[in-house]
Structure 1
Amino acid sequence: MSIRLIASDMDGTLLNPQARISAANIEAIRKLEQTDTEFLICTGREYHDAKAFMEAEGITCGYICLSGATVHDKNGRAQTKIPLTAGNAADIERIFNSYSINMDILTSHGRYTTCSREQKAKIARSFLSRRTSSPAELEQVIEQYLETVTFIESMEKLPEYATVFKVCGNDILPETVMEMKKTFSYHPELAAASSFPTNIELTNANAQKGIALKAYADLRGISLDDVMTLGDSDNDSSMFTPEFGWTVAMANAMPCIRDAAKYHTKSNEEDGVAWAIEQFVLGQEPKKHN
């Protein structure tokens, strides 16, 4: 059994706590170019966002984005698009409203939110504070981010041409997230997951990382035994099923990922992706996690 495809999450996995790709991770990924092993991004982020990180480092690869709702090959060609239906969107909005939770709505034509500008700035400030070196830089980054978001009152205000792929709620009490997930469990046509304990993400049930990864591998004639997955959070769970031969949890992973993983690597702060590539692909095989 060899590794022919590596599918890596971004936040909490490939990206360090400062939301950067470390030099060690970049070097390890570039070493793969001299092998028969393909590197694939598998993220909840939007395509243009994820691609910007990789292109900045001169890395060309394929992308599974929006938690599995869109797939692009390494040449940028869209291969799969799985949107939420109008009924899905209506159910999500109704449930979010019942909990008085604002929505971030990721579409084919950008990101929309029902947050006020002040609320979104507060959430962004909390999320980005560790990623900037000074208060002035932080405020500049926040302003730049806010310019990429369109503020609306409800989904009814979305333009007709905007296809909805994913809806998120952020800055939510963890116990409320758990309650919302239970509520959404009665909607089997939807997939509810989290990137961290205070958020919830909704996609079409067929738009999950693991489902998209299986299709991606099949298209390339790669056995799932020869696929390695790297992740840290609940929204990576569909990539941590027994069919995949090499499921590798980050040291900073949520318990659900650590428990499901066959193998473990170091944390995202310790270049865990590079360590896994060096050990599992380019070096000796470590012992399987029990």
Structure 2
Amino acid sequence: MEIQLFVSDLDGTLLNEHSQVAPETAQAIQRAQQAGIRWLTATGRSWNTAAPLLEQAGISCDFVLLNGAELRSAKGELLLDASLSTATARQAADILSEQGIGLEINTDQGDFTTDTQFCNAAPLPEDFWSRPLTVRKLFGFCWDAAKLTAARQALGTLNGVSITSSAPWNIEITAREARKARMVERAAQLYGIAPDHIVVFGDGSNDESLFRTFPHSRAMENAVPLLHTLAEKVIESNVDCGVAKEVQRILSDI
């Protein structure tokens, strides 16, 4: 198996229980890069909350962000994007608000939220929808499962959206084209890498598209049950640095 690209989720996958890239994991990534293998981080996070985590670990790599709404270079340059229409984004935001669900809106001009204590984002201004912004993703958060279920049902009536989650307490809305797998496919085309030369790592429901698209998939021990079913292989948990261990195993076979 000739691997040319590793693709990894962040939370619950690459990050440990302290939401950090462990030294063992950073060393494995650097070893892969030194061997000529690209590293691509694919996350639901925005650039502002994802990039510092890799930078602190001394890792330079490209990013698929906001569940596939953006592809950015290691320096933050926007390479590709897939955005929601303003009308659809506003409809989705209204549905979440009607259910009393907290909201973060990721745009081309920064991140905005209804709850600045929970989210690292600017307060959502009253005139938000009249501003010339491009909406990449809506992130709803709530610990009432019934409210999230009701919101999902209502959001299901909207056209052209993708609805997923990275944890039981959240819901994430992007354009239908903005899925992790689709943006990784587009990135791989830029890199000139075929799908069978890619290994993907993940743990959450928002990684499902990766596991259905790429044959070489690795589910964390702590992953949702569906990924265990779809994965080519189940590896150690994020707490046990499963990504690092699997990368080392793959590199040892080269």
The equivalent of 1:37 in structure 2 is: 37
Three-state SS of the structure 2 residue aligned to 1:2 is: coil
Shift of 1:41: 0.6
Partner amino acid, structure 2, of 1:90: R
Shift of 1:264: 1.1
Matched-pair contact (CA < 8 Å) for 1:10–1:41: yes
Q: How do 1:77-96 and structure 2 match up within 5 A?
A: 77-96=77-96
The equivalent of 2:244 in structure 1 is: 274
Worse-superposed segment, 106-115 or 213-222: 106-115
Over aligned residues, Cα RMSD in angstroms?
2.0
TM-score normalised per structure 1 = 0.81
Rounded Cα–Cα distance in structure 2 between residues aligned with 1:74 and 1:93:
31
Rounded Cα–Cα distance in structure 1 between residues aligned with 2:253 and 2:149:
40
Rounded Cα–Cα distance in structure 1 between residues aligned with 2:237 and 2:146:
26
Matched-pair contact (CA < 8 Å) for 2:137–2:172: yes
Match of 2:218 among 230, 248, 251: 248
TM-score normalised per structure 2 = 0.92
Partner amino acid, structure 1, of 2:132: Y
1:171 is the counterpart of 2:142 = yes
Rounded Cα–Cα distance in structure 2 between residues aligned with 1:171 and 1:65:
22
Match of 1:264 among 234, 239, 242: 234
- Point out 4+ residue stretches in structure 1 off by more than 4 angstroms: none
Three-state SS of the structure 2 residue aligned to 1:54 is: helix
Rounded Cα–Cα distance in structure 2 between residues aligned with 1:195 and 1:217:
23
Rounded Cα–Cα distance in structure 2 between residues aligned with 1:150 and 1:108:
16
**Aligned CA distance change for structure 1 residues 227 and 152 (closer, same or farther; 3 Å):** same
1:84-125 superposed Cα distances (whole Å, 9 cap, x missing partner) = 11121122023213322232111222221234xxxx53x46x
Identity in percent: 29
Matched-pair contact (CA < 8 Å) for 1:25–1:273: yes
1:32-87 superposed Cα distances (whole Å, 9 cap, x missing partner) = 12213111110111113222111222211111111111101235331112221112
Rounded Cα–Cα distance in structure 1 between residues aligned with 2:222 and 2:201:
12
Q: How do 1:5-16 and structure 2 match up within 5 A?
A: 5-16=5-16
The equivalent of 1:283 in structure 2 is: 252
**Aligned CA distance change for structure 1 residues 30 and 158 (closer, same or farther; 3 Å):** same
Match of 1:150 among 123, 138, 147: 123
Structure 1 gaps of 5+ residues are 125-144, 286-290
Partner amino acid, structure 2, of 1:58: G
Rounded Cα–Cα distance in structure 2 between residues aligned with 1:89 and 1:40:
27
Larger % of strand: which? 2
Partner amino acid, structure 2, of 1:50: A
